[in-house]
Amino acid sequence: MDLLAPLHYSFMLQAMGVAALVGAVCAILSCYLVLKGWSLMGDAVSHSVLPGIVLAYIMGIPLGLGAFVSGLLCATATGWIKNNSRIKEDTVMGVVFTGLFAIGLVMFTKIQTDVHLNHVLFGSLLGIEKSDLIQALLSSGITLAIIVTLRKDLLLFLFDIHHAKAIGLNVKFLHYLLLAILAATIVASLQAVGIILTVAMLITPGCIAFLATDNFDEMLQIATLSAVSSAVLGTYISYFLNGSTGACIVLCQGFFFIIALLFSPKKGLLKGLL
């Protein structure tokens, strides 16, 4: 077996690069979502983009734009219902995203498109087109730029919202900005791992880093390292297994999570036995 065989193909190298980029962006945002307690929000928004994709196809506009608007609509609707009813946020998210996902599935089956449902649900990283590559690069770049620029404000919003209000920060703006960043990151991830597996990329790296350290800067570094390593390794392994690239990436992340869960020096389940 030629272990270097995947590196001989340009499409494999391109897939590894895109997966690593998307993984890094998802990892950074994952740390914010885990600390904010918005892990389910990532699941909700990723599933709710399907009707937006179908409508964008009908209207002849970029699919990424439809996905972004649909995801943002889900997040906004969730917040509005939570603020105007007695229902808890996690319950609202479950109702909203399953409803939108069901609408999207019905629309997808009733409309003849040249977009295969499996590509939307599970990604098509090895066959990524130039337009999708540009979309992923732009979405990732914008997301990283916003997070770096407003890093301190977002941190204060996460850890002490009352202090953020007291010093004059617009917490409502930061709330919806974080939701918009989440939607943009999901759009960037769609081609890599699809709707269903995007949630793993938005949660697992942050969980791994949270188990490994209590320092936020270190958390960002560990999450990014684990995500990029999983992206490259998963893409590499998928070549030999002839399996879904996105699924292999997520399996690698799951493996790293198990290692962190068991052997983390501070929070690992086996820390007392070592």
Lowest model confidence (mean pLDDT) among 72-86, 117-131, 142-156, 208-222:
117-131
Chain mean pLDDT for the chain:
82
Model pLDDT for residues 27-38, shown as the tens digit of each residue: 998 998 888 887
pLDDT score recorded for residue 152: 85
Going from N- to C-terminal start, the domains of the chain cover 5-273
Is the confidence at residue 274, as pLDDT, over 60?
Answer: no
Is the confidence at residue 111, as pLDDT, over 70?
Answer: yes
pLDDT score recorded for residue 51: 86
Model pLDDT for residues 228-269, shown as the tens digit of each residue: 999 999 989 988 888 888 888 889 999 999 999 988 877 778
Is the confidence at residue 130, as pLDDT, over 80?
Answer: no
Model pLDDT for residues 202-227, shown as the tens digit of each residue: 889 999 999 988 888 899 999 999 99
Distance CA 120, CA 251 (A): 19
Mean pLDDT value across residues 167-187:
84
pLDDT score recorded for residue 187: 77
Mean pLDDT value across residues 138-160:
84
- Domain covering 5-273 in this structure, CATH number: 1.10.3470.10
72, 123 Cβ separation under 8 angstroms: no
Q: Which amino acid appears at position 230 of this protein?
A: S
